Structure 1
Amino acid sequence: MDVTELSYDPQDPFFSIPGDDRGMAWGVQIFTTGNLYGLAPEHTEVVAEGDGLRVSCNRLSWGGQQGRSEGQVEAVVSVRGRSVTLRISAWHDEPVKAIKLLLRNLPTEVQREGLWHPTLPQGESLWPRSGSPVLWRYPGPEWLTPWACIGEAQGAISISVRDPEVRAKRLYAHVPPYLHLPEVEVICEESALRWCSHFTSPEIKISFLSGLADLEADFRAHLEFLEGSYGLRRWEDRQDVPGWARDIKLVVYLHGQHWTGHVFNTFDKMAYVLEQLTRLIAGRHVLCFVPGWSGRYYFSYPLYAPGESLGGSGAFERFISVAHRLGVKVMPMFGATGANARLYPGWERAAFLNRTGRVVKLINAPDWDTDRHEEDDQVFLNPGEPSFRQHLIEEIRRTVARYGVDAVFLDASSAWFNDPRYDVYAGYRELVASLRERFPHILIAGEGWYDALLALLPMNQSLLGVSVRYRLPELLTRYARVFGHMAQGAPASTWPHGTGSTGVYEEGFLPVRHEQPEFGHILSVNVVEDTLDRYWEEMATICRMALRSA
């Protein structure tokens, strides 16, 4: 998403934060489908209520206070100890799509220490400079739970958005030229399914922290809210994790057929690879992930059957039999969203749409055949749409029932759009529930994650790598496990100058140095056509590393 800025000062009125003696101030902006509105100062009233206050405005402004508009805003500010919560409501004749909270006059000491969120690497923080803003979006890819901290433990300020629904939030920090000082924005967006003349934001909690223990308690309270809202369960208490999955130490990607038709491994070659690999690591520690098993990768989506160029159904059955004899578990890949429009005639009913329902949205647009232009028939479908969801359920059920695979991988499962026709997260919830009802023994995994998605999918590919030590790793490790992404290249002994093929994936060649994973993270390795023959020693090193992991 391109970042753009206003070319004028919006002249928003600002208000003090009760209980804060450092001079911070807050303001409000309202976004409808027609325009950006602020509060008209002459129509705004501030009334004390207990330790807090209520701000009411019965007429809005636009264009930097140049014009006036019908509309209302009411903000209730409550104080509890050293925390302040805000809940903002807006009314307008035009549908209200989002509400923005603005924060100014942040203490100098916390500005120096920067802004961070739970999955930034240890010691890393960011702070905006002129022309260089900070933008985090939830759900993902940058902001995996709507909690952030400005500053370190002593004197830090945390921001926690307490929303019981999966809805869009954005945190933006910049230095407007008309202000010459940093401003932090928290934008809460309503579900496009419910855009109407009224929207009340979820609770936004701002806490003034007095030390590390205070910071940790604040984040634990955020996690407890997530647990109550989404049904998150501790990893050790989860009922959707098969016993074997708790013993996995290495995920092996056995690449099948590329979009262009190139075959990296036939099913018989995959069986051979597993026989050799289990000389290095016991099969019970291995999860075999098979991308491109159903024919041309992505081209064949959303139709799933063993690819003929890889050996077809009989060879796939032999491969599964060998894997199970060796103790290895097998996880084929399904596109939770991807589809070839020419293979799925109902794509228009299910395609992701923008917030007004007028434009098809793509998760990405790879150029699979290298004509230097994105492919024309790749679309992405919303699993909230009933017919596509049912199609996907039937394709997965048929595969599990016939071949006895142990796990299912849902590609691009962390992709989220504010689609006005179908709720994406609700679609995933129904999809997973249906599969688990029929096959309670299988593992269901996905690509990427955010807080609420962990309640549905206990294991996922990590888009952040497996060796990064998060600021607050409990966001992940309390509930789930992740493994390395298939975007990392296959072993190459001359890293960083070796080839490092990414197999069926769209990166081409991306040499990656395998490093010891952090707790809760599982090492992974790509295997393409020459990996075992040319890089046996590297594979042995990776297996030893995996066995040392916690």
Structure 2
Amino acid sequence: MSLIDTDLSFDPRDPRFPVPGGPLSWSVQVFTTTNGYGLRPAEPLVDAGRVHLRTGYAALGQQRTVDAGVVDVEVALRDGVLSWSITAEHTEPIKAVKLLLRGLPERQLSAGWWAPNTGRSHSHHERFQLEYPSPDWATPWVAVGAESDCSLLSVRDPSVRRHVLHVNTPVHSPEPIVELLHVPAASARGTTCRVPEVRLRQDASSPDQDLDEHLRFVEGAHGLRPWESRPDVPGWLRDTALVVTLHGQHWTGYVFNTFPQMSEALRFIAQHIDPHRVLAYLPGWEGRYYYAYPRYRPGADLGGDEGFAELVRTAHELGFRLMPMFGGHGANVAQYPDWERAVMRNDTDRYVELLNRPDWDSDRSGEGDQVFLNPAEPGFRAHLVESISALVDEFGVDAAFLDTVGYYFNDPRHDVFDGYRLLVEELHRRHPGLVLAAEGWWDALSALFPLSQQWFGTDRDLREPRVLSRYARTTGHLAEGTPGPGSTGVHEKGYVPRPPDVVREGHLPVVGVVDGTLAEHGDELAAICRWAAANSPR
């Protein structure tokens, strides 16, 4: 059962408190590493434009009070915006604080919820959950209702921390309850938790101004720069019209393209689009995809160092740019003996988080030796820096793609986003012109990586595309089906029909090449190249 489907089997009987000048009511719950708590009933101080509450804890369900600390909440109304300031103190370490809202207009609730990166034709209804940071919720701002009649909820958090929006109508409630959870970084967890400002603008006739205000806050907090003036975006990337995925070696050892075959594909593509407008992306160049992680040298079965050097020479002579793929987290424990020092841990540091275990060989069971390592751990981060630097220094590649860094983990030993930042800073210090790309995107991540892959299966027709396109560009996922039957190459997805090419703001088209693509589907590949050249803005 997924976490979204779990719930209390009783009414927590949370006391409900008012907001200044409106029918909305709110409650707070606090969660420690050992239990969850509600608030004791109390009379808040209410005056013009302000509600202030200071009270202690009760057990969920209100069967008893608990002498463990206090919660201080102030709700203020300024310029039509309700703002919550919440500070919780508890004798136990606090792992989350939940704000519960009731009383949003039914007409807005029935129209559904949407985030800036929700698909244009989609909205969320009934029971659903969005989690930031993730491809589902790229920035902690959300609207409920039609664009001409909506309420707007946002979190002004200066740091990258987990936030969860959960909407549901439990059996004990006659109306939907909107839950907004703040989850502090486990690496900084303590007995006091100050929740970043939560804002609610009700009955807005347009979301644009509020979203732009939110984005200005995000820009200041995370150092986001406009795409046009980013110092980490060279001219060739601004002019890129197409990403070509040249699949190398599968986990099982099956070879889709050797380095000479990759060169052949590039020569073919150069006949149908200006190579200077193409970025060639290389997954599985290091040998057995994921199995070799995190040991990054040109795969022997593909042509080794000599073959890779010749591929780079050919690509650059034609005008292409090359972007090999590296694992931002993934590792085979047999390849990296020091894995336990860097492996992701659960938020209480009691066990290893076993994440992303694909069935690479189709025995219908996830592989047992794959773990996720944290690039915030100094040793693993240094390993990644040296591996990428070696490829740049020895072969002159133009970019490096970091797999899975769109994931956020609440590892108590090392703050994962801080690790991403330090990794990027060191690589830029050593190689100022190197382009860095990520799998997945969200607001603060776009400040580090100007290019990303749109996560597989995520809608690209964004409701508010400027949340992406103002700062960065994204392209199709590694698992985009290739021309013909749709092989996903080194990826574990098998066969997926390639989606039709459509112009999307901020998105670069992608096409993949596996064995047989040139010989059997060369006409389709050529047509895709010509379409990209004609439809991508310069």
Are the equivalent residues in 2 in contact too, given 1:351–1:380 (CA < 8 A)? yes
Secondary structure of the structure 1 residue equivalent to 2:150: strand
Q: How does 1:372-451 map to 2 (within 5 A)?
A: 372-451=364-443
Following superposition of structure 1 onto structure 2, how do residues 491-506 of structure 1 map, counting pairs within 5 Å?
491-492=483-484, 499-506=485-492
How far apart, CA to CA, are the structure 2 residues paired with 1:111 and 1:53?
Answer: 25
Q: What is the CA–CA distance in structure 1 between the aligned matches of 2:499 and 2:49, rounded to whole Å?
A: 55
Q: Is residue 233 of structure 2 the alignment partner of residue 231 of structure 1? A: no
The RMSD of aligned alpha carbons is 1.3
Aligned match of 2:72: 74
Matched, 1:219 2:221: no
CA positional deviation for 1:482: 0.4
1:337-391 per-residue CA deviation (whole Å, 9 max, x = no partner) reads 1111011111101111111011211331101111211111100100000000001
**Which residue is equivalent to 1:537?**
523
CA deviation string 1:442-478 (max 9, x = no partner): 1111100111000000000011669732111110000
1:527 equivalent to 2:521? Answer: no
1:298 CA displacement = 0.4
Counterpart of 2:118 in structure 1: which amino acid?
A: L
String of CA shifts for 1:98-121, please: whole Å, max 9, x gaps: 110101122111112111111111
Match of 2:194 in 1: 200
1:2 aligns with 2:9: no
Contact 2:258 2:302 in 1 (8 A): yes
Q: Normalising by structure 2, report the TM-score.
A: 0.97
Aligned partner of 1:159 among 135, 142, 153: 153
Distance (whole Å) between structure 1 residues aligned to residue 221 and residue 129 of structure 2: 25
Deviation at 1:196, TM superposition (A): 1.6
| Aligned residue number for residue 463 of structure 1 | 455
Alignment of 1:82-481 (within 5 A): 82-128=80-126, 133-212=127-206, 215-463=207-455, 468-481=460-473
What is the letter of the counterpart of residue 62 of structure 1?
A
Contact kept? 1:111, 1:150, Cα under 8 Å: yes
Q: State the secondary structure of the residue aligned to 1:482.
A: strand
Mapped to 2, the partners of 1:527 and 1:363 lie a distance apart of 28
Q: Hey, what's the Cα distance between the residues in 2 that align with 1:454 and 1:362?
A: 26
Change (3 A) 1:180 1:466: closer
Amino acid at match of 2:34: G
How many corresponding residue pairs? 533
Using the TM superposition, give the Cα deviation of residue 35 of structure 1 relative to its aligned residue in structure 2, in angstroms: 0.8
Partner of 1:27: 27
Report the Cα offset of residue 19 of structure 1: 2.7
Q: Which SS does the other structure have where 1:208 is aligned?
A: strand
Distance 2:204 2:497 in 1: 44
3-state SS in 1 of match to 2:254: coil
Is the contact between residue 98 and residue 188 of structure 1 (CA under 8 Å) also seen in structure 2?
yes
* Distance change >3 Å, CA 473–CA 329, structure 1 → 2: same
Q: 1:466 to 1:86 in 2, by over 3 A?
A: closer
Structure 2 letter corresponding to 1:8: F
Please give the per-residue CA displacement for 1:284-331, whole angstroms capped at 9, x wherever unaligned.
111000000011000001111100000111111111011001100000
CA contact (8 A) 2:119 2:459 kept: no
When normalised by structure 1's length, the TM-score is 0.95
Contact 1:467/1:517 (8 A) holds in 2: no
Q: Secondary structure at the match of 2:243?
A: strand
Q: Quote the Cα distance in structure 2 between the aligned partners of 1:277 and 1:13.
A: 65
Quick check: 2:151–2:204 contact (8 Å CA) kept in 1? no
Secondary structure in 2 matching 1:334? strand
1:467-512 Cα deviation digits (max 9, x unpaired) = 73211111000000001001111111xxxxxx31111001011112
How many angstroms does 1:125 deviate by?
1.3
Partners in 2 of 1:513 and 1:154 — Cα distance? 32
SS in 2 for 1:289: strand
Counterpart residue identity of residue 115, structure 2: H
Match of 1:496 in 2: none
The verdict on how the C-alpha distance between 1:136 and 1:89 changes in structure 2, with shifts beyond 3 A counting, is same
Residue 79 of structure 2 aligns with an amino acid whose one-letter code is G
CA distance in 1, matches of 2:97, 2:47: 22
Checking the alignment, whether the CA contact within 8 Å between 1:151 and 1:157 is kept in structure 2 is yes
One-letter amino acid of the structure 1 residue matched with residue 297 of structure 2 = A
Give the match's secondary structure for 2:93. Answer: strand
Which residue matches 2:536? 549
How far apart in 2 are the matches of 1:233 and 1:176?
42
Q: What are structure 2's unaligned runs of at least 5 residues?
A: none
User: Could you say which residue in structure 1 is the equivalent of 2:57?
Assistant: 60
Tell me if the contact between 2:163 and 2:181 (Cα under 8 Å) persists in the aligned partners: yes
Q: Partners in 1 of 2:47 and 2:471 — Cα distance?
A: 39
DSSP 3-state at the match of 1:151: strand
Distance 1:466 1:192, change over 3 A: closer
Distance (Å, rounded) in 1 between the aligned partners of 2:330 and 2:110: 43
Question: Are residues 1:514 and 2:500 paired?
Answer: yes
Q: 1:66 to 1:466 in 2, by over 3 A?
A: closer
Change (3 A) 1:481 1:230: same
Aligned AA (1:6) = L
The answer (yes or no) to whether the contact 2:118–2:459 under 8 Å persists in 1 is no
**Residue 20 of structure 2, aligned match among 18, 21, 26:** 18
| SS at 1:24 equivalent | strand
Structure 1, unaligned stretches of length 5 or more? 493-498
One-letter amino acid matched to 1:293? W
SS in 2 for 1:196: coil
Kindly state the Cα deviation for residue 92 of structure 1 after the two structures are TM-superposed. Answer: 1.1
Match of 1:94, SS? coil
Match of 2:91, SS state, is strand
* Deviation, structure 1 residue 2: 2.6
Native 8 Å contact 1:466 1:482 kept in 2: no
Distance 1:49 1:462 in 2: 48
Contact 1:235 1:478 in 2 (8 A): yes
Matching residue of 1:495:
none
